[in-house]
Amino acid sequence: MDKDIKLVIAGNWKMNKTVAEGLDLVQGLKRELANVKEVDIVVCPPFTSLSEISKEIMHSSIRLGAQNMSEHHYGAYTGEVAAGMLKEFLVRYVILGHSERRQFQKESDELVSKKAIAAHAAQIKPIVCVGETLEEREAGNTEKIVERQLKGSLAGITSEQMEETIVAYEPVWAIGTGKTASPEQAQEVHAFIRKKLTFMFSETVAKRVRIQYGGSVKPQNARELMGQADVDGALVGGASLEIRSFSDIIKNSI
Ligand code: PGA
């Protein structure tokens, strides 16, 4: 696939996989994807597996991501994990503001922006998630919602940092439901996101930001989705939990 930007495909394991199961998965991915140079490949295991997975992928082309982090650097925040702690395991990416955290942990755009700033301070690339619910789409509010999330979640990010930030467009109605946005629906919102980033930062920055699509990405729909002009990668949930489906998504995207 001929694109100016390198695709980035990340597996969001969510609350799945013990250490042993996670190691099996990445060992398989290393075998299957040893020769893939065209895509940045990322796995995002739960915190408890970061240490072991980090060692396992050390000399491979697979990079490590986390699923969340604190906006604080250290201190009395029970149950939280700071960017500097992730850095110890060579974590390079962190998913922020996933719709599940927005929904279940009530994370706000303001909090997501604080986390994004803290991630950059530790040289970790944030993957900032945005996306509308079915209700919001049906009410014709997709652009309004996505714009509000972008402005709020990226507040305080410099242009330089923005180039190292990934935006993931994940329509909530497509996550874990088997309902994928059509390639045209995805492209429409991705183009809108890039236009907004042009206004918020600059055209040069907007062109360099990678915008992932997420929501029921599978081997069967990956090629067409990645073929869209403004789709620069994928954030994959369910299909990232198996060697075959995750590696086929990557191979089909090249
Ligand atoms: P899904 O999840 O691929 O299982 O729909 C995507 C995500 O939540 O990142």
CA separation for the pair 86, 74 (Å, rounded): 12
Predicted local distance difference test score (pLDDT) of residue 4: 85
Confidence of residue 68 (pLDDT cuts 50, 70, 90): very high
- C-beta of residue 50 within 8 angstroms of C-beta of residue 89: yes
Q: Distance, CA 91 to ligand 1 centroid (Å)?
A: 20
C-beta 97 within 6 A of ligand 1: no
Predicted local distance difference test score (pLDDT) of residue 28: 98
Look at residue 78 and tell me whether its pLDDT is greater than 90.
yes
- 98 included as an active-site residue: yes
C-beta 11 within 6 A of ligand 1: no
C-beta 235 within 6 A of ligand 1: yes
Predicted local distance difference test score (pLDDT) of residue 60: 96
CA separation for the pair 236, 10 (Å, rounded): 6
What angle do helix axes 19-33 and 243-253 make, rounded to 10 degrees? Answer: 30
Residue nearest to atom 6 of ligand 1 (CA): 237
Q: Indicate which residue of 107, 136, 170, 190 is catalytic.
A: 170
2 versus 114: the higher-pLDDT residue is: 114
**3 state DSSP class of 154:** coil
Q: Indicate which residue of 98, 100, 107, 132 is catalytic.
A: 98
Q: Distance, CA 92 to ligand 1 centroid (Å)?
A: 20
What mean pLDDT is predicted for residues 27-51?
A: 97
108 versus 1: the higher-pLDDT residue is: 108
Taking the model in full, what pTM does it have? 0.97
Predicted local distance difference test score (pLDDT) of residue 2: 61
CA separation for the pair 177, 121 (Å, rounded): 35
CA separation for the pair 128, 53 (Å, rounded): 23
Q: How far is Cα of residue 184 from the mean position of the Cα atoms in its chain?
A: 20
Q: Which two tokens stand for residue 18?
A: 């013990």
CA separation for the pair 148, 49 (Å, rounded): 34
pLDDT, one tens digit per residue, over 196-250 is 999 999 999 999 999 999 999 999 999 999 999 999 999 999 999 999 999 999 9
What mean pLDDT is predicted for residues 167-181?
A: 92
pLDDT, one tens digit per residue, over 88-105 is 999 999 999 999 999 999
- 170 included as an active-site residue: yes
